[in-house]
């Protein structure tokens, strides 16, 4: 059961990763549009604008969270392979995976259709994390 749930999480993480670049493009286009609306007739320093855009892009990028979720999924596989008493460790790992998933949700909520896709996938990941947690309680 746990291996199957982890495999589902991995698939969803891969699907989220596939949405990452299109979501970034969406943010960039939306930022461009908003800036044009807000700065009509104003002169703006292009270098400053590029700096601000880079900061915004960094804040909305989910690459780190996706990477950490992949690492955690591998850790879960290793734990399951090793066997033994894993209840508390498993619960802690699920806590970390849940945090990463929540961060992804908060960063992609405004990413248009890609944000909706990521939200759906992330909610499925959270549901599977909870299922694993329930199973971990049974292991203790």
Consecutive 10-residue averages of pLDDT for the chain (140 residues): 95 94 78 80 77 77 95 95 81 96 89 84 97 80
Considering the entire predicted model, what is its pTM? 0.83
Instruction: List Cβ neighbours of 103 (8 Å cut-off, separation of 6 or more).
Output: 62, 65
Tell me the HSE value of 12 on the side-chain side, using a 13 A CA sphere: 24
Contact by Cβ (8 Å): 105, 59 = no
Long-range contacts of 124-127 (CB under 8 A, 24+ apart): 124/8, 124/12, 125/9, 125/12, 125/13, 125/69, 125/97, 125/101, 126/98, 126/101, 126/102
Output the pLDDT for position 86: 74
Output the pLDDT for position 58: 78
Report the domain count for the chain: 1
User: Which 3 state secondary structure label does DSSP give 126?
Assistant: helix
Output the pLDDT for position 39: 79
Q: Whole domain around residue 78: which residue ranges?
A: 2-139
The CATH number that applies at residue 48 is 1.20.120
């Amino acid at each position: 059961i746990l291996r199957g749930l982890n495999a589902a999480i991995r698939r969803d993480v891969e699907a989220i990763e596939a949405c990452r670049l299109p979501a970034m493009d969406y943010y960039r286009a939306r930022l461009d549009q908003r800036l044009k609306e807000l700065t009509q007739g104003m002169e703006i320093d292009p270098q400053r604008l590029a700096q601000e855009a880079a900061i915004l892009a960094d804040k909305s990028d989910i690459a780190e969270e996706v990477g950490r979720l992949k690492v955690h999924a591998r850790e879960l596989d290793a734990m399951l392979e090793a066997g033994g008493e894993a209840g508390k460790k498993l619960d802690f790992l699920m806590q970390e995976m849940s945090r990463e998933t929540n961060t992804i949700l908060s960063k992609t909520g405004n990413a248009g259709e890609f944000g909706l896709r990521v939200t759906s996938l992330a909610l499925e990941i959270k549901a599977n994390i909870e299922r694993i947690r329930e199973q971990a309680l049974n292991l203790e």
